[in-house]
Structure 1
Amino acid sequence: MKKTLFNRLMNVFVLSAAMVFSGASAAEKVTLANGEWAPYLSENLKEYGVISDVVKKAFAKENIEVEYVFLPWKRGYEDAKSGKLNGSLIWSRTEDREKDFDYSDTVIDLKTVAFYKKGSGFDWSDAASMKGKKLGGVTGYSYGFDDEEKSGLVSIERVSSADANVKKLLAGRLDAYMEDLDVGSELMNSMGVMDQVEVHPKPIKEKSYHLILNKSQPENKKLMDAFNRGLQALKDSGEYDKMIEASRRGEYKK
C-alpha cells in the first residue's frame, strides 16, 4: 500500500517537473503588426517577404517566436500603439512615433523616389519646388516633408493602397507618386506599367527603417534587446546579406 502511494506521488512529481521545465524551455512570443509592402513585406510572399523573414530569424536567434498579424497600415500602427500587439514593422523615425515606440537598430536602409508619368516634365529640387504639385503617398507614411505639410507648402494625397496611387498617376490626377525605389518598381512591373513611368534621379529621402515596439508593455524592452542581438548576429554571419540578395533575385516570390 505504502509502495503504491509512493509510486503515485513520484509519478505526480515527475509529471509536474516535466511541465515546469517544458514551460521554462518554451520560446517566448512577440506579436507584430505586418502589412503589404512588397518586396519587403507581404502575405503573398514566401516567409511573408524578406524583411519579415529577417525579423523572424533575428528573434529566433534568441529563442523568441514571432506571430504576424496582417492589417491595414493605420490600424496595425494603432493596435501596436494601444498595446493590443507588441509592435510593428518596419518604420522610419519621426518625433511623433518616438513618443510611443522604441526603435530597433536599423533593419534596412531604403531610398524613396518620385515616380512620374513619362512626358509629363515633372521635376523637383527642394520642398519649395513641390508647392502646387499633386503628390501621392500611402496613409501613415512620412516622406520627409512633415513641417512643410503642416505649413501647407507641400500637399500629399494619401491612400491606403499603393496601386491606387499608380492608377491616379497614369490617369493624370497626380504629378508624382512617392515610394521606395524597389517597392514602386516591383508594384509597377506587376501591374505592367513600368514602361509608362520614369523615376526622378534625385531621391526624396534616404532613411533607415526599424522594428518598433510600444513603450507601454514592460516586456518589450527585453524583447527589443534580444532582437537587436539577433539582428547583429544575422549581419555578422552573412545571413542577412544573403537574404537581401535572394529577395532581389525574386526568390521570395511564390
Structure 2
Amino acid sequence: MMKKLLLPLCLFIASLGAFTCFAQETIRIATGEFPPYYSQKYKNYGPTPAIVVQAFAQVNIKVEFGFFPWNRSLELAKNNIWDATCCWFETPEWGADFYYSDAVRVREKIFFHLKSYPFDWQSFDDLKGLRIGATVKYSYGEAFDAANKAGKLLIEQAPSNEMNLKKLFVGRIDIFPIDRQMGYQLLADSFSPEKTQLITHHPKILFTDSVKLLVSKKHPKNQYFIDKFNQGLKMLKEKGEYEPFFIKGQ
C-alpha cells in the first residue's frame, strides 16, 4: 500500500521540479512616458518597449513595465527596487552607476524653433547668444556639452519637454533641441493645430545616438540580464523581426 502511495507522490514532486526548471523568469523595468516611443496609452506600451519585450522573449524572460517620472525610474533601477530602466542614452554620469545593453534603437535630435524666427546654424559658434531650452536629465551629446562648457551656449533648463515648447511659443527661448518624432508627437498631443503650425525644425542634426537598457551595477544579476537581452536582441535581428518595430517615417 505504501509503495502505491509513494509512486504518485514521487511523480508529483518530479513534475514540480520540471515545472520549476522551465518556469519563465521575469525582469521588472522602470520606464516613463515618451510618446511616440513609449506610453501607457499605447498598445504594447509603444514600439520601443515592444522591442525590449520581444528581445527578452527570445531567451524566455518575461518583462513587466512600470511607468514613473523619468528621474524616479532611474532611481528605482539604481537602488534595485526595479531590475532595470529603459531606455537611455549613454552618458558618463549614468555610466558610473549602470551597465548598458546593446543599442535598442537609434534616434536623432534637431532644433525646433518658431517659423517666424529666422534660424540657421552650421556650427556651435552660430548658436552663441541664442537662448537654448534644455530639459533636465536629458542628453544632447558630447559636442553640445563641450560647447556649453566652453561658454558658447546660453542654456535655460526646464523640467519637461512640454514646458520647453511652451517657452518656445511665448518667446522665452529661441531654439529647443528634441527628438524629431517625439517633438512633433508632443505638439500634436499637447497643443492646438493652430499653435503646432507655428513650429518648424532645422534640418541639421544636432545629435544622433542610441538608447539602451540600463541595469544597476549593484544589481546581483546585472551582467546576466545585460547578456540575456543582448542575446535576445541579436536573435530578433537575425530572424528579421526587428525592423518592423520602427515608426514609419521616423
Of residues 226, 249, 254, the one that matches 2:228 is: 226
Q: For the residues of structure 2 that align with 1:9 and 1:157, how far apart are their CA atoms?
A: 74
Alignment-derived partner of residue 43 in structure 1: 40
Q: TM-score, normalised by structure 2?
A: 0.90
1:217 equivalent in structure 2:
219
- Between 1:101-110 and 1:55-64, the stretch displaced more is 101-110
CA-atom RMSD, angstroms?
A: 2.0
Give 1:9 deviation, angstroms: 2.8
In the aligned structure 2, how far is the partner of 1:25 from the partner of 1:233? 20
Between the two proteins, the alignment pairs up a number of residues equal to 245
Instruction: Check if 1:127 corresponds to 2:124.
Output: yes
Q: Per the alignment, in what secondary structure is the counterpart of residue 212 of structure 1?
A: strand
In 2: Cα distance, 1:92 partner to 1:249 partner: 22
Question: Does residue 168 in structure 1 map to residue 167 in structure 2?
Answer: yes
Whether 1:19 and 2:16 are equivalent positions in the alignment is yes
Equivalent position amino acid for 2:94 in 1: R
Q: Counterpart of 2:171 in structure 1: which amino acid?
A: G
Q: CA deviation at 1:227?
A: 0.8
Q: CA deviation at 1:194?
A: 3.1
The unaligned stretches of length 5 or more in structure 1 are none
Which position in structure 2 is the counterpart of 1:183? 182
Q: What is the CA–CA distance in structure 1 between the aligned matches of 2:77 and 2:224, rounded to whole Å?
A: 17
- From 206, 209, 215, give the equivalent of 2:208: 206
Give the 3-state SS of the residue equivalent to 2:103 in structure 1: coil
Structure 1's consecutive aligned runs of 4 or more residues displaced over 6 angstroms after TM superposition are none
Shift of 1:50: 0.1
- Asked if 2 retains the 8 angstrom alpha-carbon contact of 1:59 and 1:65, the reply is yes
* Cα contact 1:73–1:139 (8 A) shared by 2: no
**Higher normalized helix content (fraction of residues):** 1
1:75-154 equivalent positions in 2, closer than 5 A = 75-144=72-141, 145-150=144-149, 153-154=152-153
**In the superposition, relative to structure 1, how do residues 7 and 249 fare at CA in structure 2: closer, same or farther (>3 Å)?**
farther
In structure 2, runs of 5+ residues without a counterpart are none
Q: 1:78 to 1:130 in 2, by over 3 A?
A: farther
Tell which deviates more after alignment, 117-126 or 86-95. Answer: 117-126
Q: Distance in 1 between matches of 2:116 and 2:76?
A: 42
State the identity as a percent: 34
1:127-172 deviations in Å (ceiling 9; x for gaps)? 3433433222322111122344456543433334322222221111
The answer on 1:248 being equivalent to 2:237 is no
How far apart are the structure 1 equivalents of 2:107 and 2:140?
12
Residue 109 of structure 1 deviates from its aligned partner by 1.2
TM-score normalised per structure 1: 0.88
**Residue in 1 aligned with 2:6?**
9
SS in 1 for 2:242: helix
